[in-house]
Amino acid sequence: MVRTGLDVLLHTPDHDARTFLAGKRVALVTNYASFAGDGRRNIDALVEDKLFGSLVVFGPEHGYWSDGQYMDESENEHYDDEVRIVSLYKGGSAHYLFPEPKDVADVDALVVDFQDVGTRFYTFYATMANCMFAAAAVKRPLFVLDRPNPINGVDVEGGLLAPPFISFVGQYPMPIRHGLTMGEMARWMNERYRLNSGRSCALHVVPMAGWDRRAYWDSLGLVFVMPSPNMPTADTALTFPGFVYFEGTNVSEGRGTTRPLEQCAAPYIEPEGLIAHLDREYPRWRAGAYIRPTGFQPGFQKHAGKLCLGVFVHPTDRKVFNPVRTALALLRGIVALYPGGFEWKQPPYEYETEKLPIDVISGGPWVREWAEGRHPWSDYDEKERADAAAFQAERRSYLLY
């Protein structure tokens, strides 16, 4: 069984990080999905085992309790028993995506313990990066308790983000599926990019024990606790890198259903025709997956209460399944077949008020242009190969496992 960075810290009495943090005032950057191997919530384990002197918690997007829906403001400051919990995602302003300088200055160190899902759009790493920036500004050390990438640490897929399109859902030029752990991302952002600010924080990563970076979540012996409302299972994490693109459109990505981000649908789609079109135009689109027509009525958000028809994707062979390629093929097919129904979502999106949401999500205009048919089908495969190879070479120095 894998031991997370939290478990390593809890069960290694002479660990350097544990020695440093003993008796200190600590800000724990986390949410409810981060548990110890013995079943205790990380807050409870750290308090009960007296690893710190005092504790305040900084919560990310979706709130500490993982209860905030997509782009909903997280809860404001409150208390969980005797632990103060401060939201870093509130107020309708990008300013609040960073911890208040006073909150960071009032502690001796920050500790990050997030269960990430392996995709650039997922904002936990951005919250970590913002906390690293704040820690550097007030000269506080920051510790990352590492956890597994649930969709493995080998595969890299999707295009690179272009720097002009940096946002909260894409702060650094990485591909959609990056194959890194939070600790590895922290090292890469801190050393390679100096936090996009010309400075680095005093970073310490507590590595896991026993993690094979080729592994998927279901082989780790760990319990998956949903880190956000629309990430109910580890299976969702595998299709998420592709279906999240539909946030930038009027096609439902399944929010408001019990299986979000594994399917897409809209009132104007005819699924059998869409599947047949893609099989003719781009046969590779369904590699490694069983594709079936689906229908649902979202309980909220896009097309709430309306019957939507579309496609459900079941990965069957992880070695060849590429979630980004499959979902983007669906997007291109929908754009081509339903010009009278399909629309690109308009701003704002994740604190960006001018750029199209699809461009913010994609990290540039290329995906939108490709989906609109301005580039041949084959250009996607060529661009992904080039971008993935460049990132694989760049990230090599920062891998821990």
Residue spans of the domains in the chain: they are: 5-228, 234-364
The rounded mean pLDDT for the chain is 93
Question: How many residues appear in the chain?
Answer: 401
Lowest mean pLDDT among 86-95, 264-273, 322-331: 86-95
Q: Mean per-residue pLDDT for 261-288?
A: 98
In DSSP notation, 308-377 reads: EEEEEEEE--TTT--HHHHHHHHHHHHHHH-TTT--BPPSPBTTBSSS-HHHHHHTSSHHHHHHTTSS-T
Instruction: Please name the residue ranges forming H helices in 77-193.
Output: 101-105, 124-137, 182-187
Q: Which of 121, 105, 112, 92 is nearest to 4 (CA)?
A: 112
**Is the predicted pLDDT of residue 301 greater than 80, yes or no?**
yes
Whether the Cβ atoms of residue 37 and residue 220 lie closer than 8 Å to each other: no
Q: Mean per-residue pLDDT for 332-348?
A: 97
- pLDDT (tens digit per residue) in 171-191: 999 999 999 999 999 999 999
**Is the predicted pLDDT of residue 79 greater than 70, yes or no?**
no
**Is the predicted pLDDT of residue 81 greater than 70, yes or no?**
no
- High-pLDDT (> 90) share of the chain, %: 86
Q: What is the predicted pLDDT for the residue at 350?
A: 83
Q: What is the predicted pLDDT for the residue at 133?
A: 96
Q: What is the predicted pLDDT for the residue at 174?
A: 96
Fold observed for domain 234-364: Aspartate Aminotransferase, domain 1 (3.90.1150)
- Model pTM score: 0.94
**Is the predicted pLDDT of residue 93 greater than 60, yes or no?**
no
Q: What is the predicted pLDDT for the residue at 84?
A: 85
Cα separation, 292 vs 289, in Å, equals 10
- pLDDT (tens digit per residue) in 40-58: 999 999 999 999 999 999 9
Q: What is the predicted pLDDT for the residue at 235?
A: 95
**Is the predicted pLDDT of residue 91 greater than 80, yes or no?**
no
Q: What is the predicted pLDDT for the residue at 360?
A: 96
H helix and E strand count, the chain: 12, 10
Cα separation, 377 vs 394, in Å, equals 27
**Is the predicted pLDDT of residue 302 greater than 60, yes or no?**
yes
Q: What is the predicted pLDDT for the residue at 94?
A: 56
Residue 292 CA from chain centroid, whole number = 26
Q: What is the predicted pLDDT for the residue at 100?
A: 82
**Is the predicted pLDDT of residue 73 greater than 80, yes or no?**
no
Task: Report helix, strand or coil for 202.
Answer: coil
Q: Which of 224, 148, 223 is nearest to 180 (CA)?
A: 148
Confidence of residue 116 (pLDDT cuts 50, 70, 90): very high
Task: Report helix, strand or coil for 206.
Answer: strand
Fold observed for domain 5-228: Rossmann fold (3.40.50)
**Is the predicted pLDDT of residue 89 greater than 90, yes or no?**
no
Of the chain, the end-to-end C-alpha distance in Å amounts to: 15
Cα separation, 228 vs 40, in Å, equals 19
Q: What is the predicted pLDDT for the residue at 88?
A: 85
- pLDDT (tens digit per residue) in 8-32: 999 999 999 999 999 999 999 999 9
Q: What is the predicted pLDDT for the residue at 62?
A: 75
Q: What is the predicted pLDDT for the residue at 65?
A: 75
